[in-house]
Amino acid sequence: MNFVEALLLALALCVDSLVVSTTTAFKSKMAWRQGLLMAFIFGLCQGGFPLAGALIGDVARSFIEAVDHWVAFGLLAFIGGRMILEAIQNKPGENVSTYQRINTSTFFLLGVATSIDAFAVGIGLGLQETLVNVLWIVLTIGVVTILVSLLGVYLGKRNIPVPEKSANIIAGVVLIGLGVGQIVGDCLAGWAPAGIPMPRTLVPA
């Protein structure tokens, strides 16, 4: 996975964080200090959950190596498809109105609730990427989530709505597209045209 793909993945995964941070900032009239804390916790959860999933995926890789790319594609396609379906059905997501008080515990509960999909995506990363690559990918996800959540706080404090339905549909399409891209890339990498001789330096003596 290159940086552009990692950035797209991060933006797709943090849509819920954007919506929740916007709603929370609007309904609670929080101070910027609270907004910064919420954004940091959201970034910690969005980065930590895929890392935990990747560790599981890395362990499982040796058992399903022959189909690991299909499993990774299936996870991305399932999550992306669910996001699109829930957006079309106008299914409500996690929001601050579920909780009575706005404090650090609430931020962690919201962060966990919006990071479940990231855990599943992390399993796919563990199946496809080295742990070194996983580290910078989850770091990208965490940093992007913090920035996007801060944007949500800014929008919420100014009562600027987020087009939740459109954002989730776009995010779902991006996740499915990343999954398809991985499958196509793996298929092309494993395809060797017949009749093309090996370079002389690679021909065994």
61-118 per-position pLDDT tens digit: 878 777 777 888 888 888 889 888 888 887 655 555 444 467 788 889 888 988 988 9
Q: Which two tokens stand for residue 11?
A: 């933006």
What's the domain count of the chain?
1
Residue 75 placed within a domain: yes
Half-sphere exposure of 183 (CA within 13 A, CB side): 15
**Containing structural domain, residue 11:** 3-183
Residue 65 placed within a domain: yes
123-167 per-position pLDDT tens digit: 999 988 888 999 999 999 999 999 999 999 999 888 888 887 888
Residue 199 placed within a domain: no
Secondary structure of residue 192 in the 3-state scheme = coil
In terms of pLDDT, which residue wins out, 194 or 141? 141
